[in-house]
Structure formats: structure tokens, C-alpha cells
Amino acid sequence: MNCPHCKNPMIILELGDVETDYCTVCEGIWLDAGELELLIEDSTAKTELLSSFQLIQHIKEKNIKCPICNTKMEKIYVGKEDKVIIDECKHGHGIWFDKGEILKVIKMGSVNQQNDIINLLTEMYENKIYPTNKEEG
């Protein structure tokens, strides 16, 4: 799969039991539909996070296309206080997170701030340790 942001090939990155697509150039992450829910362990926190998603009508941030269906994705605010803007396929194929956004969103939806996924993402984005998995075919 090619990155929807910079068009470079992405690699497969395992976060827990979820295979995601990671761009080593712009450091964005693509999650297929339902994968964000799998990364957040607490059901109450998960429900609260997902209910915070709000469609943004007008924003000057660049629109990108879904890597699955090639249609423009919608801009979504996530969170109630410190909002993060993500890109979501309007046909339900998945969500695109620009560099570091997934870490912020996972932290919003996690009761335990020291879980393995948060630790891995923190190492990747804050300490500049990058994965070296095989390219997706």
C-alpha cells in the first residue's frame, strides 16, 4: 500500500495484535476499519473516545485520499479538550494519522498510560526509534 500523504510505499507495523501500515518517510499510520478499537483496551474509554469524533466542515488542512477507495477523506476532530485532527474514509475503510497523532489519540482512549502500545509509539515518535519490518506487497 502507498502512503496517502506522500505516496511512498508503506511497511507493515505490528501494534499489539493489529497490523498497521506505517510510512517511514512522513511517519504516518493507516489503520483499517475497526483497528483503532482493538488498540484501546478499556471499553468505557473506547466508547468515550469514539463518541468524541466530530466531522469538520471547513478547514484549510490538505485533503488526502483513502488508500483503499481513492476518495477524499473527511477531517475529524478527536477528543474533547486537546483535539487532534485525523482523516477518516467516508466509506468506512479506515483512518489516517499524521506523524504522532495516533499516540495522542491512543493516550486519550487509554486508562493505563503505561501499556505496551503507548510505550512502543512513544519510542517511535519521541525517541526516534523506527521499525524495520518488511514492505507490504
The tens digit of pLDDT for each residue in 112-122 reads 667 788 888 88
At residue 121, the pLDDT reads: 83
More confident residue, 59 or 8: 8
Identify which of 52, 111, 115 has the alpha carbon closest to the alpha carbon of residue 84: 52
Domain boundaries, the chain: 11-126
At residue 67, the pLDDT reads: 96
Mean pLDDT of 122-137: 59
At residue 136, the pLDDT reads: 43
Mean pLDDT of 6-21: 91
Q: How far is CA 30 from CA 67, 80, 93, in A?
A: 9, 23, 10
* pTM (2 d.p.): 0.84
Q: Give the residues across from 22 on adjacent strands.
A: 11, 29
